[in-house]
Amino acid sequence: MTDKIRIGALISGGGTNLQAIIDACHDDRIHGRMVYVGTDNPDAKGLARARQDNIPTFSVDYRSIIRTVKAEPDKVDLPSDFDISDIQAKQSFFNDRVDPDKIKLFLISRAIAEARLLEAMKQYPFDLLVLAGYMRNLTPYFIDRVNTDYSRPRIMNIHPALLPAFAGVDGYGDTFRYGCKVGGCTVHFIDYGEDSGPIIGQRAFQILPEDTIDTIRQKGLKLEWTLYPACIQLFAQDRIKVVERSFDSGGGGKTVRKVVVIEGSNDRRLEGEKSRR
């Protein structure tokens, strides 16, 4: 049996997915252990879940950092290895119609906060970073310092919609408002875009005429709490491979995309057992 993988987590709120992962580590559905929980929100209620389990915690107050950068953008102390040209060229959150100065301000403020996250994370060596309700977009500055081997990405996220539909902060709400008949959740690796990285696993549920936004969220969360641990276990078993595939995009053109291949499995459902919340 190989050693348990070391899992770090970032949260912003209540941490129900964090609890699902902690539970799965305890009952061996994940061959791993949680080594830290960090947050952008010092008041995140999910920190109590980590402390109850004696997991080290830390916080970086993004709001304070963003206010400081907006007030005095020319006086901020940038990380010594921050290259704004490189980060701007890589990011794909914003299109060409967005004011370049706004993009620059966003990237600078986030890099300062991310440098503090990375400094805190240095104390706790980890194999996989999971975003468990982390509500901040990570910039290429952060991603490049965690994904040092791009053949093996190690930042995983769960999203409340069936990607690539409804990227962004309110996947279940967008699903409901659009009138979809099916909703779901997606676990994927992080890349330079918004919820655009290679998909690891998905689960779906039926949307009934009597459903509301609240009942849709409840259905989705129940699936999230089983799907996320199942995908993390695949990582722990070293069964996830990211490969490039070329597709005919019409007119003689080719599209190259990174996709996830799950080795040694015919089960595409990626189902896990229920865990307590």
Residue range 263-277: mean pLDDT, rounded: 53
User: Is residue 131 left, alpha or beta, with left meaning phi > 0 and alpha meaning psi from -120 to 50?
Assistant: beta
| This prediction's pTM | 0.92
What's 259's DSSP letter?
E
Query: What pLDDT was estimated at residue 247?
Result: 85
CATH number of 5-262: 3.40.50.170
Residue range 105-130: mean pLDDT, rounded: 96
Query: What pLDDT was estimated at residue 273?
Result: 42
Query: What pLDDT was estimated at residue 274?
Result: 42
Residue range 263-275: mean pLDDT, rounded: 54
Task: List pLDDT tens digits, range 49-94.
Answer: 999 999 999 999 999 999 999 898 888 889 999 999 999 999 998 8
Residue range 137-166: mean pLDDT, rounded: 95
Percent of the chain having pLDDT more than 70?
95
Query: What pLDDT was estimated at residue 32?
Result: 98
Query: What pLDDT was estimated at residue 249?
Result: 77
Could you tell me how many helices (H) and strands (E) the chain has, helices first? 8, 9
159 counts as catalytic: yes
**Which pairing describes strands 253-262 and 240-250: parallel, antiparallel, or unpaired?**
antiparallel
Query: What pLDDT was estimated at residue 2?
Result: 77
Query: What pLDDT was estimated at residue 265?
Result: 64
| Local confidence band at 269 (pLDDT 50, 70, 90 cut-offs) | very low
Query: What pLDDT was estimated at residue 74?
Result: 80
Query: What pLDDT was estimated at residue 271?
Result: 42
Mean of pLDDT over the chain: 92
- In three-state secondary structure terms, 117 is helix
Peptide bond into 79 cis (omega under 30): no
Residue range 131-140: mean pLDDT, rounded: 96
Percent of the chain having pLDDT more than 90?
82
| Local confidence band at 266 (pLDDT 50, 70, 90 cut-offs) | low
Residue range 197-218: mean pLDDT, rounded: 97
pLDDT of residue 182 exceeding 50, the answer is yes
Contact status, residue 132 vs residue 46, Cβ threshold 8 Å: yes
Number of other residues whose CB lies within 10 A of the CB of residue 264: 8
Q: Which of 26, 31, 159, 188 is catalytic?
A: 159
Task: List pLDDT tens digits, range 230-249.
Answer: 999 999 999 999 999 988 87
Query: What pLDDT was estimated at residue 272?
Result: 41
| Local confidence band at 14 (pLDDT 50, 70, 90 cut-offs) | very high
Distance between CA 277 and CA 185 in Å, rounded? Answer: 18
